[in-house]
Structure 1
């Protein structure tokens, strides 16, 4: 079973190792999707949505929202953002009944990546 929680943040970046319009400073309203794979526990939950929201907010959203992502990730492509988020959350979200399954990062409504570690 998959538990899915969506988040949103606004951030700016520029892709310094890319030749095209995205090498210039610009911003996105990103959608971040966190997916946990597991089985419901004795309370009938894979993971408490409230606790998941708190963890992701503290470890990711508070760092990324209204930030210049190049200060955090040297080449902040959607791919590299997804890898960063996965590494930041993998251990803290691990429980006996579940694990981090996938991180999705959407730069626009039609363009995103999924990373499974």
Structure 2
């Protein structure tokens, strides 16, 4: 069988509050979201047939990334306006650091702020 690169995706959720700075709309007031985060990694399967064990990916994201934002007031966490776009870029940077010494690369990140609104970042955007 031909072995090629494979993408794996895992979903996460976290709850955070924030308000938007210098914004003239409802979001200027403190409010919260249940964010949904989709992470896609790509790589060649190893000798066990895994790009990365889903359990290992979950541990990386939960312990190294989401613990910094879950159930937090994001304006106290970040030194930037915590828009969905900026949170997504921060997540990309943090997750990229965590997977840089693995067999795979971060290919795509989707951050849902609401059930109908999300941002997408893919590897081509960040090169």
Per the TM superposition, whether the score is higher than 0.5 is yes
Shift of 1:103: 1.4
The TM-score, its normalising length taken from structure 2, stands at 0.86
Query: Residue 39 of structure 1 aligns with which residue?
Result: 44
Judged with a 3 Å threshold, the aligned counterparts in structure 2 of structure 1 residues 22 and 49 are, in CA distance, closer, same or farther, namely: same
Distance 2:86 2:101 in 1: 25
Shift of 1:106: 0.4
Indicate yes or no: 2:85 matched with 1:79. Answer: yes
Count residues with an aligned counterpart: 117
Query: Residue 113 of structure 1 aligns with which residue?
Result: 119
Shift of 1:95: 4.7
> After alignment, is 61-70 or 95-104 more displaced?
95-104
Any residues of structure 2 matched to 1:58-73 within 5 Å, and which? 58-73=63-78
Query: Residue 18 of structure 1 aligns with which residue?
Result: 23
> After alignment, is 53-62 or 21-30 more displaced?
53-62
Unmatched tracts of structure 2, length 5 or more: 1-5
* Pair member with larger Rg: 2
CA RMSD of aligned residues (A): 1.3
Shift of 1:88: 0.6
- Residue 104 of structure 1: which of 98, 105, 110 is its match? 110
Distance 1:29 1:40 in 2: 33
Query: Residue 34 of structure 2 aligns with which residue?
Result: 29
Q: Deviations over 1:23-67 (max 9, x none)?
A: 110000000111101221111011111111111111221111110
